[in-house]
């Protein structure tokens, strides 16, 4: 993908989650959802470093990972509206979007839950002798889960081709990383497992891409896992119901000034890869595409009541 296409991906992710946020407010989406707005450079920076056949595992905040991985926006929109043409036939919602065949091994409502899945995928690649990589996305809150220790240790001792990507968006619900950790970086934990750890500016797509490319290549060559910490920020609340009482408006404004999309667009303008303000047209096109997806989805049929027990067990 060229730089302009990467920018377009980030714009699509933003437009998608802004739209979902709006639809919630209108009572048109049920259940809950967690928005990726502000974090787009992480998903797009990491996933653009992958190759055909690589896989990812995602989180409760998974729309950005899914779109960056190339999932079908129409089917995602249909899932959010509870329609039969959605990824889970309208019965899973936001936190169960997956396309296992394509290599998107699933959003996950269990914080840290996908770390074991990523190790399993990495183990399968090793056993089959395939030069493929599993990327595992998770938040700063997940670093405090027991599975973090188990998964990172196993990945290290078995040299699994797994890239652990911690999206440090500064909060786990209302808990600030400043009070949850007494360390300068979360990537520092990597040394306890004997794997490389690196902290990167998660608002910079190019920096994320570079670090992720190195980690993926190391894993592909049999060099084992890496822990990447991407410093980022979620602009919107933890989920649809969040009054943002644990942080100030000023803090949000400060982070918005470092917006990953505006930052990357101006970088491309400087390089002459984009005309001045051309990204505003791309933004408009992304919004139109998302409007179209939700419009189409709203016309799709609901799942049949008889199908309620289908797809429940594997
Ligand atoms: C095992 C588990 N514990 C608690 C929860 C409730 N919960 C949902 S999201 C969340 C915060 C997760 O924070 P973080 O991992 O930093 O991700 P972020 O929401 O910031 O993207 C919690 C505690 C859960 N879903 N699963």
Here the CATH number for the domain that contains residue 16 is 3.40.50.970
Residue nearest (by alpha carbon) to ligand 1 atom 20: 172
CA 58, CA 68: separation in Å to the nearest integer? 11
Measure 109 CA to ligand 1 centroid, in angstroms: 8
* Regions of the chain with pLDDT less than 70: 314
The number of distinct structural domains making up the chain is 1
Specify if 86 maps to a domain: yes
Specify if 259 maps to a domain: yes
Specify if 310 maps to a domain: no
Mutation choice for ligand 1 from 172, 186, 236, CB with most ligand atoms inside 8 A: 172
- 215-235 burial code (b ≥16 CB/10 A, e <16): bbebbbeeebbbbbbbbbbbb
Mutation choice for ligand 1 from 141, 174, 178, CB with most ligand atoms inside 8 A: 141
Q: What is the pLDDT of residue 242?
A: 85
Which residue stretches of the chain are H helix?
3-25, 40-47, 63-69, 73-80, 114-128, 146-157, 177-180, 205-220, 249-256, 260-270, 278-298
Measure 298 CA to ligand 1 centroid, in angstroms: 30
Q: What is the pLDDT of residue 311?
A: 82
Task: Give whole-number Cα distances, 26 to 10, 22, 154, 248, 308, in Å.
Answer: 25, 6, 45, 26, 26
Ligand 1 atom closest to Cα of residue 239 = 19
Mutation choice for ligand 1 from 146, 173, 186, CB with most ligand atoms inside 8 A: 173
Q: Do the beta carbons of residue 66 and residue 15 sit within 8 Å?
A: no
**Domain coverage including residue 251:** 3-297
Measure 270 CA to ligand 1 centroid, in angstroms: 38
Q: What is the pLDDT of residue 313?
A: 77
Specify if 285 maps to a domain: yes
CA 56, CA 107: separation in Å to the nearest integer? 10
Token pair listed for 66? 């899914």
Specify if 312 maps to a domain: no
CA 293, CA 195: separation in Å to the nearest integer? 42
Specify if 302 maps to a domain: no
Specify if 79 maps to a domain: yes
Q: What is the pLDDT of residue 30?
A: 86
């Amino acid at each position: 993908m060229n730089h302009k296409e990467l920018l377009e991906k980030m714009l699509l992710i933003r437009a998608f989650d802004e739209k979902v946020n709006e639809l919630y407010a209108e009572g048109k989406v049920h259940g809950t959802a967690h928005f990726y707005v502000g974090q787009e450079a992480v998903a797009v920076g990491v996933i653009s470093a992958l190759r055909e056949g690589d896989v990812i595992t995602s989180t409760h905040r998974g729309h950005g990972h899914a779109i960056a991985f190339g999932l079908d926006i129409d089917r995602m929109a249909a899932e959010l509206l509870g329609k039969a043409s959605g990824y889970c036939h309208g019965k899973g919602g936001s936190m169960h979007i997956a396309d296992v065949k394509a290599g998107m091994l699933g959003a996950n409502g269990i914080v840290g839950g996908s770390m074991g899945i990523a190790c399993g995928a990495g183990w399968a690649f090793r056993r089959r002798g395939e030069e493929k990589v599993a990327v595992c996305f998770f938040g700063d809150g997940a670093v405090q889960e027991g599975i973090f220790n188990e998964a990172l240790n196993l990945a290290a001792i078995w040299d699994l081709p797994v890239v652990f990507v911690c999206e440090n968006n500064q909060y786990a619900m209302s808990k600030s990383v400043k009070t949850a950790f007494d360390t300068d970086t979360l990537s520092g934990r990597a040394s306890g497992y004997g794997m490389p750890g690196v902290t990167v500016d998660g608002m910079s797509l190019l920096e994320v891409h570079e670090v992720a490319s190195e980690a993926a290549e190391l894993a592909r060559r049999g060099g084992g896992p890496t822990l990447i910490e991407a410093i980022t920020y979620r602009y919107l609340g933890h989920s649809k119901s969040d009054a943002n009482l644990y942080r100030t408006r000023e803090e949000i404004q400060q982070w918005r000034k470092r917006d990953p999309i505006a930052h990357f667009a101006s970088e491309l303008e400087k390089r002459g890869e984009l005309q001045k303000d051309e990204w505003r047209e791309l933004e408009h096109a992304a919004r139109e595409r998302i409007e179209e997806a939700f419009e189409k989805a709203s016309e799709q049929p609901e799942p049949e009541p008889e199908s309620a027990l289908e797809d429940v067990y594997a």
